[in-house]
Amino acid sequence: MSATAPSYRVWALPGIPELHEGDDVAKLIAAAAFTDGLPGLADGDVLVVTSKILSKAEGRILRAEDREAAIDAETVRLVARRGTLRVVENRLGLVMAAAGVDASNTEAGTVLLLPEDPDASARRIREALRTGLGVDVGVVITDTAGRPWRKGVTDFAIGAAGVQVANDLRGDVDAHGNPLVATVVATVDELAAAGDLVKGKAGGLPVAVVRGLPHVVGDACGAGEEGARWLVRPAVDDMFRLGTSEAVREAVSLRRTVREFTDDPVDPGAVRRAVAAAVTAPAPHHTTPWRFVLLETEAARVELLDAMRDAWIADLRADGRSEESIARRVRRGDVLRKAPYLAVPCLVMDGSHDYPDARRSAAEREMFVVAAGAAVQNFLVTLAGERLGSAWVSSTMFCRDVVRRVLDLPEGWDPMGAVAIGRPAVPPAERAARGADAFVVVR
Would you kindly state where each structural domain of the chain is located, as residue ranges?
A: 9-60+114-237, 244-439
- Say what the pTM is: 0.67
The yes-or-no answer to whether 9-60+114-237 and 244-439 have a common fold is no
User: Residue range 340-368: average pLDDT?
Assistant: 94
Element (H, E) at 86: strand 85-90
Across the chain, mean pLDDT equals: 89
Q: CB within 8 A of 290, min separation 6: which ones? A: 278, 279, 281, 283, 345, 346, 347, 348, 371, 372, 375
Residue 225 has what pLDDT? Answer: 57
Q: Which among 261, 292, 259 is positioned nearest to 275, based on CA atoms?
A: 292
Instruction: Tell me the DSSP string of 99-115.
Output: GG-B-SSS-TTEEEPPP
Residue 174: is its pLDDT beyond 90? no
Q: How confident is the model at residue 358 (pLDDT cuts 50, 70, 90)?
A: very high
Residue 3 has what pLDDT? Answer: 60
Residue 148 has what pLDDT? Answer: 84
> Could you give the C-alpha distances from 360 to 285, 357, 363, 370, in angstroms and in order?
15, 6, 5, 15
- Whether the CB-CB separation of 195 and 220 falls below 8 Å is answered with no
Length of the chain: 443
Element (H, E) at 88: strand 85-90
Residue 215: is its pLDDT beyond 80? yes
Residue 2 has what pLDDT? Answer: 54
Residue 196 has what pLDDT? Answer: 94
Q: Which CATH architecture fits 9-60+114-237? A: 2-Layer Sandwich (3.30)
Three-state secondary structure readout of 199-226: HCCCCCCCEEEEECCHHHECCCCCECCC
Instruction: Tell me the DSSP string of 135-155.
Output: ---EEEEEEEEEETTEEEEEE
User: Residue range 308-320: average pLDDT?
Assistant: 90
Window from 15-24, 209-218, 241-250 with minimum mean pLDDT: 241-250
Q: Which among 99, 103, 96 is positioned nearest to 70, based on CA atoms?
A: 99
Residue 207 exposed, middle or buried by CB count within 10 Å (0-12, 13-18, 19+):
buried
Angle between helices 25-33 and 118-133 (to 10 degrees): 50
User: Residue range 13-30: average pLDDT?
Assistant: 94
Residue 430 has what pLDDT? Answer: 78
Q: Where does 244-439 sit in CATH, by number?
A: 3.40.109.10
Q: Which among 421, 80, 28 is positioned nearest to 257, based on CA atoms?
A: 421
